Amino acid sequence: MSPARVQPAGAPPLVVVGSIGLDTVETPYGRRAEMLGGSVSYACAAASFFTRVGMVGIVGHDFPQRHRMAFEELGIDLEGLRRAPGRTFRWSGVYARNMDERRTLKTELNVFAGFRPRLPPTYRQAPFLFLANIAPELQLHVLDQMECPRFVMADTMDLWIETERPALDALMARVDLMTLNESEARHLTGHHALPRAARAVLELGPARVLIKKGEHGAILFSRDRIRLMPAYPLESVCDPTGAGDTFAGGLMGRLAGEGSASAAALWRAMLTGNTVASFGVEGFGLERLLTLTRDEIDARVQFFRAMLRA
């Protein structure tokens, strides 16, 4: 692991709410059993390079101390991390050789099934909030606890589109940026063409929609503009688990670090999040993020920016 990061004291400018789990993953490059995972783990790790970030999640009595120490080494604020009686959330899956297809073998919600986030008082003042993929009713529950957030980004999945659509619609009316992958955008709106699907999402309330396209990058839609962001070109991908959450965490961490949510700041944040995610998939789980340095990120961002200008 790289040297411990020293973060400034005080309330974290960014709060991230989501899942923390123990993942068992198999890819063509190998297998890892019960490694640190979950949306909030990836997002907070990525954000920690740029700002002080508060983690809100739940783990069981069996959550390894070494994983908590990893969070501490990253400088993540853990006041919102709750330990409950029972077992930690677990997920296992296998990736096909092309890395585009993933088969879930088992999902055990355990203590995550009863998760109802309650924010520490200092977190409620945070100007930036990322609501990672949890039930939209819980995302709204968190948003109701915030005092006056400046910028809120939310993620979702097909399950919530099918089972909690009213709550999801209510959430989208209150966020600044909604992020979905291609299939989720199509599922949500019934439109295959992504520009048309994005326009339909914008009509539900968010100021911007970010559609993730995996190895093909992402597209940012607003009411008057479309911005394309290619993925950083990699020769190989070891484990794509958590790549979207790493991208989102790097994006939100950069925004919070700059203290701005302008269009220019958001584009820089997308570039940064994309770059951090490109490092993350080079190892299993959070392995690469735990050894990564800010200098490495900055160097790759500069190289990436030069490619985009050419």
Question: Taking the domains of the chain in order of start, what are their residue ranges?
Answer: 14-304
pLDDT tens-place string over residues 207-224: 999 999 888 899 999 999
pLDDT mean over 228-251 = 94
Burial class (CB in 10 A: 0-12, 13-18, 19+), 174: middle
At 139, phi and psi to the nearest 5? -60, -40
Residue 6 has pLDDT above 60, yes or no: no
pLDDT of residue 100: 76
Tell me the CB-side half-sphere exposure of residue 52, using CA atoms within 13 A: 15
Q: Is the pLDDT of residue 4 over 70?
A: no
Q: What's the confidence (pLDDT) of residue 7? A: 60
Tokens of 286: 């959070």
| Residue 179 to residue 169: CA distance in whole angstroms | 13
CA dihedral 109, 42, 212, 185 (to 10 degrees): 30
Given a cut of 70, whether residue 5 has pLDDT beyond it is no
Looking at residue 11, what is its pLDDT? 87
75: left (phi over 0), alpha (psi -120 to 50) or beta: left
Q: What is the pLDDT of residue 310?
A: 62
Residue 97: pLDDT above 90?
no
The highest-level CATH class for domain 14-304 is alpha beta
What is the value of pTM for the model shown? 0.94
**Is residue 309 pLDDT above 70, yes or no?**
yes
